[in-house]
Structure 1
C-alpha cells in the first residue's frame, strides 16, 4: 500500500501527536538526535561503523555540530504569521521544502531495500533526493519507484571518460534533473572504525549497481568476469584523483543539466567553480568522513555565499539534525540543506517508514521553528535572525 504524500507542514505535528504509540510496539523517537543510538542496537558492528564512522579522531564531525551551537535564533514577535511557505526554487523548479536527501553510498548496508526504501520514504514526505553513484540499486531502478518527486544524481567522476559519459547520459534519460559532482573524495578518508573492522562495502560488491549495469563499464570486462574481477575493475576507475579545474569544461560541454560541485569550503574554490561554468555549489566536508580537522561547514557557508553572490544556488550539508539547524543554515546563506546520517538511521530502524518518520519530524520542527521565529516564509529568513551565542546585538530597527 502506498503511503499518502505529506500534507501541509502544519499538519505534521498534529499527525505526530495523533499517531501515538505504534500498535506493534515500535515507534522511532521524534528526537532525531537519539536515532544513532537506536540504530547502533540493530545494526551489525561493521555496518554501523560504516554509516556512523568519521575520519581520524572525529574532530570535523564534532566541529560541524559545535558550529550550529555557536549561533542562536533571535525570534521576532507579533508578526501575524498564520500560514507558512517552506518552498524554494532551484534551477527553475519549485521544491516544496528546503531539504533534500544527501547522497549516501551502498544503502543496502543498513537495510535490504536500500535506496529503494529511502527514495519511497522521501517521496512520502515530499522531499527530493540525490542518488549516489555508488548506490546498491541502479539509477533506473530508483527512478522507477520515485514517482514525480524531483531527483538529482551525484557523480563520482570515473577515471575512464567513456564510463563517466555513460553515467551522465543514463542520468539524463532517467529523469534526474541536476548533477552533483562530489570533489572532496579523490580517495577515501582515513576512517579508523572501518579500518578496524576491515570493512568497506564496495569490496563486498555492495554499492556498485550503477557500474555493473553500465555498458561502458562492462565493456572493460571479459564476458565471464566473476565478482572479484568486477570489483577489481571498479577499483581501478571509480574515482579520478587526477581531476583538475580544467577538466570541468568537458563535463560542462557534455550535458545541459545544472551542475553543482559538492565539497566546496573555500570561497576561492567557489569562484573557480563558477568560472568553469558550474551552476551551484554545495558547502560540505562530507560529514566529517574525509579529512580530520577540517573547518565546520556552517563556518564556511557565509564566505562561500559572499564569493558567489546572491543569485547562485548554494546548498550545505554536514551536521544538520533539527529544524532549527535548517533555519540557521538558511540565515547564513544556504538556499537549502541536505540531510545525511539521520535518514540512514531511520532506514536502519524501519525502512521506508523510518525514512518517512525522520523527514516528517524534521519538517514539522522546521515549520514550527519558522513560525516561532516570526517568519511566514523561508524567504523571510535573513542573517538578522541570528546572533552569536551569548550575544544579542542592538536592534537595527523593525524588520
Structure 2
C-alpha cells in the first residue's frame, strides 16, 4: 500500500530514466534559473486545510460543471507539446485515458496528432491556441479543431515571446523529429510573414476568437486580479490562473499564492481554473479549497505517459483515490464543498 501511495511522486524519476536527456529536460525545465518552476510545486504543500467532522461522507461525488458541461472529475490535462516524443501514441494515449477518467483534455495547438483522431477517441477536449501576428494564419488550424469537436478555445496570453531556457546539453528541437508536432497547421505555415506569436494581443482578440469559432473562450496565463477582470469584461467564460509551469517569466508568482485573489476579483462572473506545480490529489484538493472550479495537470500526465495509455489511466486513478480520501477526511462530499475548507475566519496560510 505504501508503494502504491507514493507512485505519483515517483513519476518524475521514472520519466528521467526512460526518456532521452533532451526530451526530459524539455519537459522538466523552467525558465532561466527555474525559481518559479520550483516554487510553484512547493507552495501547494503550504496550503492548510480546515476539515469538517461529523459529516456523512458515505457517498462522494467528483463530477462538476465546466463551461456548462458536466464532467466526471474536477481535474483535467493541461496542454503540452511533444507528447509523441514521450510515447509513440502521444495525444491518443492521453485522450483515451482521460476520456475513461471523465476529465477534460486541453490539446496544444502544437500537437503531433491530427485533431480529428483525438476527437474520435470521445474525449471531451478544448483547444489551446497561440495567436500569430497575422490572425488569419490561425484560421485553418482553428477550423480543423472546431470540425473535430473541440468544445472551447483556450487562448494562451503569457507568451508574446518564448522565455529563455538554459539547456544542459543538446536542445530538444535539434534532435526531435519535426513530424512529432504541429501537424494541424498548413504546410509552410511557419515560413509565412506574420506567423510569429502576436506581440499585440488585446481584449479584441477574445471577441475575434469567439466569433470565428462559435465556442466559449478561456484565457490562460493570468496571474493578476486586474487582468482577470479585464478578461471577463472582454467576454472570457473562464480565467485560467497559470504561470506556464514556470517556463516563461522566471520569478513570476506561484499560482497558489494568487489564486484566491483572482477568484475574489472575478466573483461569479466566470469560472476560474488553475495549473502550475500540482503533483497529487492533495494538491488538487488544496486548489479546490482555495475556490478553483477546476485544476489542470501538466507535467504529471506527461511523466505518466512514459507508460502510454495505461500510465495515464493509472495517474488519473491514483489522483482520484487521493482526492476521494482527502474529501472524506475533510468532511466533504462534492468538489463545491471543498471551498468551505478555506473559510475567511480561518484562512489558509501560504
TM-score by length of 1: 0.81
Query: Which position in structure 1 is the counterpart of 2:251?
Result: 293
Cα 1:358–1:203 change in 2 (3 A) is closer
Equivalent pair of 2:73/2:101 in contact (CA under 8 Å): no
Q: Distance in 2 between matches of 1:235 and 1:191?
A: 26
Structure 1: tracts of 5 or more residues without a match: 1-16, 21-26, 212-216, 222-229, 392-399
- Correspondence list, 1:95-110, <5 A: 95-110=71-86
Residue 316 of structure 2 corresponds to which residue in structure 1? 359
Q: What do residues 244-281 of structure 1 show as CA deviations (whole Å, max 9, x unaligned)? A: 33333322322321100000001111111112111111
Q: Offset of 1:30 from its aligned partner?
A: 4.5
Query: Out of 156, 160, 163, which is 1:182 matched to?
Result: 156
Q: CA deviation at 1:210?
A: 1.1
Report the alpha carbon displacement of residue 204 of structure 1 after superposing the two structures with TM: 4.5
Q: Secondary structure at the match of 1:290?
A: coil
The answer to whether structure 1 residue 335 and structure 2 residue 293 are counterparts is yes
Asked if residue 282 in structure 1 is aligned to residue 255 in structure 2, the reply is no
1:133 and 1:31 map into 2 onto residues whose CA distance is 30
Query: 1:33 pairs with 3, 6, 9, which one?
Result: 9
State the shift of 1:96 in Å. Answer: 1.1
Q: Deviations over 1:290-313 (max 9, x none)?
A: 111010011111111111112411
Q: CA deviation at 1:203?
A: 7.6
358, 374, 395: which one aligns with 2:331 = 374
How far apart, in 2, do the equivalents of 1:162 and 1:202 lie? Answer: 31
Distance in 2 of aligned mates of 1:201 and 1:143: 30
Distance 2:221 2:175 in 1: 21
1:396 alignment partner in structure 2: none
Secondary structure at 1:263 match in 2: strand
Does the 8 Å CA contact 1:252/1:278 hold for their aligned counterparts?
no
Alignment partner for residue 139 of structure 2, among 149, 159, 165? 165
1:318 aligns with 2:311: no
RMSD over aligned CA atoms reads 2.4
Change (3 A) 1:173 1:181: same
* 1:236/1:50 CA distance change after superposition, 3 Å: farther
Question: Number of paired residues?
Answer: 347
CA displacement, residues 202-230 of structure 1 (integer Å, 9 cap, x when unaligned): 9841311111xxxxx34xx4xxxxxxxx6
Q: Judge conservation of contact 1:245–1:272 (CA < 8 Å) in 2.
A: yes
CA distance in 2, matches of 1:169, 1:390: 45
Q: How does 1:1-399 map to 2 (within 5 A)?
A: 30-144=6-120, 146-147=121-122, 149-193=123-167, 196-200=169-173, 204-205=177-178, 206-211=180-185, 217-218=186-187, 221=188, 233=191, 237-348=195-306, 350-385=307-342
1:101 Cα deviation (Å)?
Answer: 0.6
CA distance in 2, matches of 1:51, 1:203: 13
**In the superposition, relative to structure 1, how do residues 334 and 63 fare at CA in structure 2: closer, same or farther (>3 Å)?**
same
Unpaired runs of 5+ residues, structure 2, are: none
TM-score, scaled relative to structure 2: 0.92
- Could you tell me whether the CA contact under 8 Å between 1:331 and 1:381 is conserved in 2? yes
1:142 CA displacement? 1.2
Q: CA deviation at 1:179?
A: 0.7
Give the deviation of 1:316 after TM superposition: 0.3
CA contact (8 A) 1:263 1:285 kept: yes
